[in-house]
A and B are shown apart, each in its own frame.
Chain A
């Protein structure tokens, strides 16, 4: 059974001509669990019975090599065209193979009507923990067997599950204040040094009697935003670290369901505000995939240049603030990196008029062609940066204190990374050579000669080296892209998204109508759902879009890399010292706008 597809078929017996697809293999193994399959824009999605989900997922991971749980999301189908009396909620899981780059989606329709429940995958992938909590929080789907099913983004006393279609956007009373009687607040908020020793109520996991519970954040210099980490300490040793997020939650996904596709673009700037270009690119590619349009080569090359410049800028911010975590605000490197970032921001200002929230890459191409001086300015960057990166390296790479602080701290093995859904430089520093630019190339990344830096140590120092090398590789990509910058348009010629040329409006009635429709309504994708992910500076940035054939997304979900990577905090910090916990938060390179959305 499926709702969104253009070719509903129960997978046929594999023919001798081609090897069986993953869907066919699974259907053969679990004839009762696989209810159907659909393919839309190259994305294969299997519909799985709730009871069979765990077995299918385990088989995917252990036998078929889909070791990475990319995305976990959900949809409320109650207002969907064609929905009639079927299961109202579904969860969707996207699995990616880190070896081949293949991807497959599993969709589970949750039984239980308005209080649905599906089995939890947290036992198979530790990284399913937070996404499932997010789904529970925003959509109200319960996960059976989840170890700690609480709200994650919204306060504990929030009255509803806002992503459900019957909850209107805005207008609700907002219970922002913490309840004093709340168990969690009592245990974390009280000080141990009180004139009268009041024994705080211990939280579920933390042992408040034996250990000191330290609240780091949401106002703390090195949580990089409004992150709160509740650290359970034995002396200075971190027994456990519980990140508490949601202070910056702005409901972007709900907002996305009320505005047209192209209008959501500025919101992506404000998610990972340190790398707006990459977000623009990820969203634009997802929308273009949904629309099925082609982007002209010049626009593609400009996009690559912009995305790599953004990667440089983002890594510069990371480097400066990371050293600040280790050394305090007085360290020179912070200002050095910001000096370089200034050069990049100037380029962004040149091409788009904005420096931080850029909105330059848009569904359909890029906003406008780059000005002539763009190439020259980027060449200045290419000339200056190698020496600058060497300068940073001279400053700290061999510094004994930095070596002592960074090596062996925040270790993650490859297995832990994959289980936790950690992506990006963290995954690559643990020995998994997985980069979406190589594994699932987009925007023509397959045409560039660059290397994916990989290290096996999996500690803070390895991640530091990996990111520095990524900056060098980005320079290589930019260099090649600049040399091969083709001429031509920067906006798609596909009339589904592009306005007709001005002269046609005088002669063609069709063009006039088309123009009118695009201007008033916006472009309209066909019914269907896509998931597309790109390699953001922080890891896998994915957009899951469900279209019901109108100009407004039916469901828009963001797979934010920081959100998933942040889950590794506890694993990385356990058993280390407070100073290491600060470095761990820094090495994850989170942006809270990305975490909370």
Chain B
């Protein structure tokens, strides 16, 4: 029973002890690194297999359909069938494509998706590498995606792909800034960039302490990964599939894996930063519950994103950039400033995480920022509509 309480950590210990029996120390390390590496690389693949099924089911229900229901019970093996189909499809390289770049892009994008998982804490002590710059690492790895997408769009020798690449530059660079600002707010409040420590110091989930940062991060992250309503990079009705329009077979599959790997990763990071990560009832008694809480919270975030996809129209590129620069950046900047002020007010030496009073002050400030933003947006919309003589102003 005691073993089960902290099942995953104990399992890892037993495993290390077992292989330590017949391997030297460096061998144990090497094997363990390999195992962790393989698990992390497999995460996007596992995420793709489960999330495609989930997305098709969720969107199906939203659309008044059943969704996949043929392969296996409730269609859960549909994703495997799709994977097999993708594996055996012909690999097509368009004429005039820049072949090395064309082939490199899917590898790079899937690699970036896998790298993100290195700093996600699934439970106490269950983290690939508790980097001391974990939060910054998330942003940095995300920016590799930009390069991969540009490579794919440019090398395809297709104008739709090129337009997708053009959009990527504007969109990803713009949304990186509110994303960094909202992460910075969390880092400021917790005083650490280690993803594991952020969870440890999150007494109350930051979604109720820093709602502005949470909303900003979720929207920016949705934009970074090209989820609806920010899916302009691959807008099917405008530029067909955007940057990966020319890819087929397994290479197309890599883009798919990267997309869903990133989806799960941003949900996991949102959970880590704002939803208390693996925290939950009884988790101090039985740390093995942590990963379950973590996955449940992440899936809830993913569900919200899918829900948005099923019911919201897509932004236009100019509206989208305006939204980032005129709404998200000012709001998150104000939030960052307010957080810095609040933390300075009741500052205690060697303080880890915010105090109760600070949290209440932070919440008050966040609510005020939300209210002011909403007010200004509404007024601007009415004025703009009145200027143009539009209906429904």
Contacts and interface: CB of A to CB of B under 8 A. Distances in A.
Contact, chains A and B (beta carbon distance below 8 A)? yes
Interface of A: 191-195, 212, 214-215, 220-222, 235-236, 323-332, 334-336, 339, 395-405, 407-408, 455, 457, 459, 461-462, 465, 577-580, 582
A326 B237 contact: yes
A194 B96 CA distance: 6
A457 B390 CA distance: 6
A579 B316 contact: yes
A191 B157 contact: yes
B155 to A, nearest CB: 9
Contact of B63 (A334, A407, A578): A334
Contacts of B238: 222, 578-579, 582
Given A193-B154, A401-B313, A336 B63 contact: yes
Interface string B50-84: 00000000010011110000000000000000000
Contacts of B385: 407
Interface in B303-349: 309-319
Question: Which of A235, A395, A465, A579 gathers the greatest number of chain B CB atoms within 10 Å?
Answer: A579
A330 B228 contact: yes
A582 B238 CA distance: 6
A334 B236 CA distance: 15
B315 A582 contact: no
Contacts of A404: 315-316, 319
Contacts of B228: 327-328, 330
Nearest to A586: B237
Contact of B162 (A193, A195, A221, A579): A193
B360 interface: no
Interface in B211-236: 228-229, 231-232, 235-236
B240 interface: yes
15 contacts: A195-B98, A212-B159, A215-B159, A328-B228, A328-B231, A329-B237, A332-B310, A335-B64, A398-B392, A405-B313, A405-B315, A407-B385, A407-B391, A457-B391, A579-B238
User: Chain B's interface: helix, strand, loop or mixed, by majority?
Assistant: helix
Given A578-B239, A580-B316, A195 B96 contact: yes
A294 B227 CA distance: 59
Contacts of A191: 96, 157-159
A221 B163 CA distance: 16
Given A235-B166, A328-B231, A222 B64 contact: no
Nearest to A237: B318
A233 B115 CA distance: 37
A395 B392 CA distance: 15
A577 B318 CA distance: 9
Contacts of A325: 237
Nearest to B377: A400
Contacts of B232: 579
A457 B389 CA distance: 7
A395 B311 contact: yes
Given A332-B62, A401-B315, A221 B166 contact: no
A195 to B, nearest CB: 6
Contacts of B166: 235-236
Contacts, number: 130
B313 to A, nearest CB: 4
A331 B316 contact: no
B159 A399 contact: no
B173 interface: no
B229 A327 contact: yes
Given A193-B162, A335-B64, A323 B313 contact: yes
A328 B314 contact: yes
Given A327-B228, A328-B231, A332-B64, A465 B236 contact: no
B159 A192 contact: yes
Interface string B87-126: 0000000001010000000000000000000000000000
Contacts of B62: 332
Interface in B118-158: 154, 157-158
Given A336-B64, A400-B381, A577-B318, 15 more contacts: A222-B237, A324-B237, A327-B314, A328-B309, A330-B63, A330-B309, A331-B313, A332-B62, A336-B63, A396-B313, A401-B313, A407-B391, A579-B314, A579-B317, A582-B237
A220 to B, nearest CB: 7
A214 B389 CA distance: 33
Nearest to A327: B313
Contacts of A459: 390
Contact of B159 (A214, A398, A402): A214
A163 to B, nearest CB: 36
A236 B385 CA distance: 24
Contacts of A402: 313
B388 interface: yes
B78 to A, nearest CB: 16
Contacts of B388: 407-408
B229 A401 contact: yes
A296 to B, nearest CB: 41
B239 A399 contact: no
B223 to A, nearest CB: 13
Contacts of A236: 163, 166-167, 317
A220 B163 CA distance: 15
**Lowest 6 A-B CB distances belong to which pairs?**
A335-B63, A222-B237, A327-B313, A326-B313, A579-B316, A332-B62
A193 to B, nearest CB: 5
A332 B316 contact: no
